Every structure is written in structure tokens, then in C-alpha cells.
């Protein structure tokens, strides 16, 4: 049975309110039988049940929940907007505009979704290598700069760290005798 808030599934005489994706909503005909993939989201104050037409939708939903700033409602909106294959392709091609078009997702969240899910989904299989995240915060983020930055550290700091290791070795050596 459909309701304004979702779909009510009757399982053994007990009705469960399910928040479905668009494809799961189309699949659930009033009075008919339907098989849905579900995900139970547990919070302190509420238990929410989400329904999906196919396992790929549910898996993508769970991956989206792992992204900071994406809750279950936003993840459901993302999964409902496109097929799982289209979303994977958008992530692989770094198409942040597709995610920004969804209400509740801004530029930064869209970039975070793409960056975090590229590694998890294996974007290289779509023919494009996974781009590495570049940090503009630190000038020593590139490997070339990191190797040269060790020479700019103070000699005092280097001596201290070198001095601690032999002392431990001396203690261990004297304990053995």
C-alpha cells in the first residue's frame, strides 16, 4: 500500500513503513506482492526502513552513508535520481554537477561524494584512472616537496630523535648481560 510518506509493506500481518527509491515505489503495486531490498537505519530516536528495487541500489546507498555530510534522506535522493550504473559512471568521471542538482547537496558535499566513492567503487574500471586528492593546504603535499622538506627541519630536532633510539638499545644491551 502506498502512503504519502512511503510504502507500507504488510509482512505477516504487521505493516512496515518503508521509504522507497523511485524504482522501488514503481515496483510496489497496491494490493500486489513485491520483493524489496531493505536497509534499517538506526538512530537514538528513530528506526527508519529504506526500500530498494535491486541490491545495487542498496549497496550504493550504504556507500553513500559512509560519506561525511550525507545522511539517509540525501543518500535516498541520490539513489532515486539515477540508476546505480549512471551514478557509478558520474563518480568515475567526477561529474559533481549531477550531485549538485539534487536538493540538499552543495558543491563541497558533491566533491566529497565523488572523491570518497571513487576509491571505494574502483573508478579505474570505467576507463579513467582514479585521480589522487591534492591538498592545497600544504606546500609539502607532493612527493618531491616532502623529500626536500626533511632537509629544512631543524638539526636539533633530528639529533633528539636519533639520540633516543641508541639509549633504548643501550638499556636493552645492558639488561642482557
Delineate the domains of the chain, giving CATH numbers in brackets: 2-126 (1.10.150.20)
Please state, rounded to an integer, the average pLDDT across all residues of the chain.
Answer: 76
Q: pLDDT per residue over 145-167, tens digit each? A: 444 444 444 445 444 544 454 55
- 59, with CB counted inside 10 A (0-12, 13-18, 19+), is middle
What's the whole-number mean pLDDT along residues 93-110?
A: 90
* Per-residue confidence band for 41, with pLDDT thresholds at 50, 70 and 90: very high
Q: Using DSSP, how many helices (H) and how many strands (E) does the chain show? A: 8, 5
Q: Is the pLDDT of residue 144 over 80?
A: no
The Cβ of residue 118 has, within 10 Å, a number of other Cβ atoms equal to 23
Q: Does the pTM exceed 0.85?
A: no
Retrieve residue 48's grid coordinates: 527508519
Beta strands in the chain (DSSP E): 2-3, 6-11, 14-20, 37-42, 47-52
Higher local confidence (pLDDT), 158 or 40: 40
Backbone angles phi, psi at 38, to 5 degrees: -125, 160
Amino acid at each position: 500500500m502506498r502512503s504519502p510518506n512511503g510504502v507500507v509493506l504488510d509482512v505477516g500481518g504487521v505493516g512496515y513503513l518503508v521509504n522507497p527509491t523511485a524504482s522501488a515505489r514503481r515496483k510496489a503495486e497496491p494490493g500486489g506482492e513485491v520483493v524489496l531490498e531493505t536497509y534499517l537505519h538506526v538512530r537514538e530516536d528513530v528506526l527508519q526502513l529504506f526500500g530498494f528495487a535491486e541490491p545495487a541500489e542498496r549497496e550504493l546507498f550504504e556507500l553513500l552513508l559512509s560519506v561525511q555530510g550525507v545522511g539517509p534522506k540525501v543518500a535516498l535522493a541520490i539513489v532515486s535520481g539515477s540508476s546505480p550504473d549512471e551514478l557509478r559512471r558520474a563518480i568515475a568521471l567526477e561529474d559533481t554537477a549531477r550531485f549538485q542538482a539534487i536538493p540538499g547537496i552543495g558543491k563541497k558535499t558533491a566533491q566529497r561524494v565523488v572523491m570518497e566513492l571513487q576509491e571505494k567503487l574502483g573508478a579505474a574500471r570505467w576507463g579513467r584512472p582514479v585521480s589522487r586528492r591534492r591538498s592545497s593546504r600544504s606546500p609539502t603535499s607532493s612527493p618531491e616537496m616532502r623529500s626536500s622538506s626533511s632537509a629544512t627541519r631543524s638539526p636539533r630536532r633530528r639529533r633528539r630523535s636519533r639520540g633516543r633510539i641508541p639509549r633504548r638499545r643501550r638499556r636493552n644491551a645492558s639488561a642482557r648481560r
